[in-house]
A and B are shown apart, each in its own frame.
Chain A
């Protein structure tokens, strides 16, 4: 064994021993939090709890006081009666007075901007002369003639072109009642001779009367119409009628109503649904269930039906009695569900002021 090996062995043994016994392989324990705990018995803990005052508990909510009621007696209270109404029999309702609404004229159109006519062509600044000479222009262009580019007044639209109708126009036939001018015929000499010789007919010897004798008419003669003197009132009335017919009067419509566009299908459906909900056919006879009635009704501007205006326009499918029963059911439906007004757009009042409702019970019949 050489010296180097010995030295190495001794060094390794020393190193290993220092590592084993020097604490090189032992790690320091992690720090532990320490808390002092005092141990008490169950009796002691109980004694401690008794010695402490009980914590304040949450205060119990007070018993709710019942709401004060005006009437302590249970049961159905009758609904508040409506204010007294006129108990007299309903008279024929006059047409509701319509307030005179000033005719709302469409706002005047904004004046069209006047286009200024320029008589002179705008001046164009001459281009700066370049140092380099340009080639000469090919031709000298004439100056534009000053003219109105835009007319100061709009030109009326040209009349529409004539459209050839697909359907042929039927041949006209002379009106039998029409007066046709008679052609003036030049008077000619009466023909005194003919190409036939007519024998003279002998006069009849019969004395029989041409007509039977009838008793004289006892009917009084119709009074002859005498021309009434034209009075100023008559003349004024005629003039007024003419003016009205010709549209020359300037008096506005006494009851202008907003017409608006036609009701949409949704608006119509809402109305149909509303009336349907009150159309009770459960108490109708089987014959009335076979009867379709068309009922007319006028509406107020707040979409309520006018009871006196509800009328039977026509019916089919049943007897008169059955039609009457069907009409009564329809009237009840219109009035019941229209008592608070139907959901109709007021801006289209003119479209639904008069309504014709067809009550067709075909789907409701006994099958």
Chain B
């Protein structure tokens, strides 16, 4: 009986509340909440009209600046330029309001406007970045000034700023790459050190091709380069001052081969391999005093060392387990921990500037791969596959990897490629000749 009464009371209550419009179902308690877990991965459309020239002297840089900026952004694979032929409105005044509707109509999501003025051999570049759909400026307007012959660097810096403001990544366009320039057939290949902007521009040779050179490595400040040369008949490590193009031997012991050098993050120490009596071990050397310290002491081959960004650990390759694998040990030496356990052979590990990943070369199934893994060896991902991919190097922001790829056959050519750590956007790096062993500089100051 009680249940019958309760049911009747509930029915009456619901009926009355429904009539008065105050039912529980009709009440909106707070905002509507939804969760978006799936999105799209596609390049962000942007537009960069020619920069407005202030004066006739700036005319020739107006278009050049915008073209370099557009190439930088498009080259990341994260952006897609809306061509000028599709632009509806023209930007004729740097300080004029933006007609956002015109840019929305062509689905431009980011707009870069700028101006350039030249006076007395110096150029001044101003720019702004706009979020078209929100009608707001991303950050504040910025201005760069410098010698007019450095206009490419200024363009790279503008692109860096735009890239960082939109993606949140740290920049990398204003950087350089040192590599081994290769020419001639495989059986008579001439090698010399070369340096260029990250995009292949402003190439300069640092050595001649009289002796074989290998594995150049930038210093943390980008002003020096370590490399290995067979100039004396034995492989020896040299350090080269880029600004002065002067060099000195870092390690010279007769009858001992030294190679695979790399600077520590503070630039005070160099870790390298030293082969003596058929055994190869890792050593570290103080750059100023020249004092050496042996880090490994095993009958196996230990080589290709690379410091962690904090300088506390070293990742290297070793065949102590019977096959070539990757190991991590303290930078002062000590017990090493194996981190690679996949099939095949692992080599040339390089620690990411962010510290979270290690890039490596993997040989498995008759093919070479460039891959990345976490520092504990987990989450291994292979980014490339070809006849021969090797020598990975990280961009300053740890987002892109450059490496060398060699094609098959006697006329095979070695050239440089870059790939995003997502595995997307694999693209060749423009060099006049072939290239191998790239090393990416830190961001220029």
Inter-chain contact A359/B36, CB cutoff 8 Å: yes
In the assembled complex, the CB of A337 is this many whole angstroms from the nearest CB of chain B, namely: 10
A279 touches B36 (CB 8 A): yes
Contacts of B104 in A (CB 8 A): 339
CB pair B6–A163 under 8 Å, yes or no, is yes
**Given A87, A276, A282, which contacts B38 in the complex, CB threshold below 8 Å?**
A276
Nearest residue (CB) in B for A354 is: B31
Q: Of A1-9, A135-143, A231-239, A267-275, which stretch is located at the interface?
A: A267-275
Given contacts A160-B5, A332-B134, contact A85 B100 (CB under 8 A): yes
Kindly list chain A residues whose C-beta atoms are within 8 Å of the C-beta of B97: 87-89
Rounded to whole angstroms, the CA-CA distance of A352 and B13 in the bound complex is 27
Return the contact of B9 from the options A157, A275, A278 (Cβ within 8 A).
A157
Evaluate contact between A282 and B78: CB separation under 8 angstroms: yes
In angstroms, Cα B268 to Cα A296, docked, is 51
> Closest CB of chain A to B383's CB: distance in Å?
11
Which of B26, B102, B106, B131 has a CB less than 8 Å from the CB of A332?
B131
Given known pairs A268-B34, A279-B36, A325-B168, the reply for A261 and B86 (CB within 8 Å) is: no
Cβ contacts under 8 Å, B42 to chain A = 280, 282
- B387 contacts partner chain A, Cβ-Cβ < 8 Å: no
Most buried by B among A79, A275, A285: A285
Asked if A328 is at the interface of the complex by the 8 Å CB criterion, the answer is yes
A78 and B86: CB pair below 8 A?
A: yes
Q: How far is the CA of A288 from the CA of B399 in the complex (A)?
A: 13
Q: Is A355 a contact partner of B39 (Cβ separation < 8 A)? A: no
Q: Is the CB of B28 within 8 A of A350?
A: yes
Q: Does B335 contact A (CB under 8 A)?
A: no
Interchain nearest-CB distance for A48 vs B (Å): 69
Q: Are B28 and A351 in contact (CB under 8 A)?
A: yes
B322-343 interface code vs A (CB 8 A; 1 in, 0 out): 0000000000000000000000
Residues of A close to B99: CB separation below 8 A: 85, 87
B13 and A160 within 8 A (CB): yes
Tell me whether B40 and A357 are in contact (CB under 8 A): no
Within A218-268, which residues are at the interface with B (CB < 8 Å)? 259-263, 268
| Known contacts A322-B168, A332-B134, A367-B381: A161-B19 contact under CB 8 Å | no
Q: Is the CB of A81 within 8 A of B36?
A: no
Complex contact B169–A285 (CB within 8 A): yes
B364 at the interface (CB under 8 A from A): no
| Distance (whole angstroms) from the CB of A131 to the closest CB of chain B | 54
The reply to whether the CB of B21 lies closer than 8 angstroms to some CB of chain A is yes
B34 and A280 form a contact (CB under 8 A): no
B32 within 8 A of A: yes
The yes or no answer to A82 lying at the interface (CB within 8 A) is: yes
Number of chain A residues whose Cβ lies closer than 8 Å to a Cβ of chain B: 72
User: When chains A and B are docked, how far (Å) is the Cα of A310 from the Cα of B86?
Assistant: 30
B42-53 interface code vs A (CB 8 A; 1 in, 0 out): 111000000000
Question: In the complex the two chains form, is B167's CB within 8 Å of A284's CB?
Answer: yes
B105 adjacent to A81 (CB under 8 Å): yes
Q: Which residues of B contact A284 (CB under 8 A)?
A: 167-168
Answer whether residue B321 sits at the interface, using C-beta atoms and an 8 A cutoff.
no
A259 to B30, CA, bound (A): 12
The answer to whether the Cβ of B214 comes within 8 Å of any Cβ in the partner chain is: no
The contact string, 1 if C-beta is below 8 Å from chain B, for chain A 70-90, is: 000000101101100101111
* Segment 337-367 of A: residues with Cβ below 8 Å from B: 339, 350-364, 366-367
Contact with B along A83-106 (1 / 0, CB 8 A): 001011110000000000000001
Residues of B within 8 A of A144 (CB): none
Q: Which residues from 90 to 135 on chain B have a C-beta closer than 8 Å to any C-beta of chain A? A: 96-102, 104-106, 109, 131, 133-135
Inter-chain contact A82/B102, CB cutoff 8 Å: yes
Cβ of B149 under 8 Å from chain A: no
Inter-chain CA distance A161–B105, complex, in Å, is 65
A287/B135 in contact, CB under 8 A? no
Chain B residues in 8 Å Cβ range of A271: 34
- Expressed in whole angstroms, the Cα–Cα distance for A339 and B41 within the complex equals 21
Q: Are A331's CB and B134's CB within 8 A? A: yes
Question: How far does the alpha carbon of A205 sit from the alpha carbon of B398 in the complex, in Å?
Answer: 80
Residue picked from B13, B27, B167, most chain A C-beta under 10 Å: B167
B37 contact set on A, CB distance < 8 A = 360-363
Chain B residues whose C-beta falls within 8 Å of the C-beta of A362 in the assembled complex: 37
Is B421 engaged at the interface, CB distance under 8 Å to the other chain?
yes
Inter-chain contacts of A361 with B (CB < 8 A): 37, 39
A331: chain B residues at CB < 8 Å are: 131, 133-134
Q: Which residues of B contact A285 (CB under 8 A)?
A: 167-169, 399
Pick from A88, A259, A278, A364: contact of B28, CB under 8 Å: A259
The distance from the CB of B77 to the nearest CB of chain A, in whole angstroms, is 8
C-alpha spacing A330/B282, complex, angstroms: 49
Q: Is the CB of B21 within 8 A of A106?
A: yes
Contact A351-B86, Cβ < 8 Å, known A277-B40, A280-B41, A322-B168: no
Question: B43: shortest Cβ distance to chain A, in Å?
Answer: 6
Interface flag for A24 (CB, 8 Å)? no
Whether A366 contacts B101 by the Cβ 8 Å rule is no
A356-B33 contact in complex given A161-B2, A282-B78, A351-B28, C-beta closer than 8 Å: yes
Which A residues are CB-close (under 8 A) to B79? 283
Instruction: Tell me if B31 and A296 are in contact (CB < 8 A).
Output: yes
Instruction: List A contacts of B134 (CB < 8 A).
Output: 307, 310, 328, 331-332, 335
Measured in the bound complex, the distance between the Cα atoms of B265 and A142 in whole Å is 116
Contact A79 B27 (CB under 8 A): no
Residue A286 lies at the interface, judged by CB distance under 8 Å to chain B: yes
B135 partner, pick from A261, A307, A354, beta carbons under 8 A: A307
Indicate which residue in B27, B40, B105 contacts A82 across the interface (CB closer than 8 Å): B105
Q: Does B201 contact A (CB under 8 A)?
A: no
Across-interface contacts of A287 in B (CB, < 8 A)? 168
Alpha-carbon gap, A332 to B100, bound state (A): 14
19 contacts between A and B (CB under 8 A): A82-B105, A85-B101, A106-B19, A158-B5, A161-B5, A161-B6, A262-B28, A282-B78, A283-B79, A284-B167, A284-B168, A286-B169, A288-B167, A288-B168, A325-B166, A328-B166, A332-B131, A351-B28, A354-B31
Known contacts A82-B105, A158-B5, A321-B168, then 17 further A-B pairs from the complex at CB < 8 Å, ordered by chain A residue = A79-B105, A106-B19, A159-B9, A160-B9, A259-B27, A261-B26, A282-B42, A283-B79, A285-B168, A285-B399, A325-B167, A328-B138, A332-B133, A354-B31, A355-B33, A355-B34, A360-B35
The 9 closest A-B pairs by CB, nearest first: A325-B168, A354-B31, A279-B39, A160-B9, A285-B168, A87-B97, A282-B41, A283-B44, A285-B169
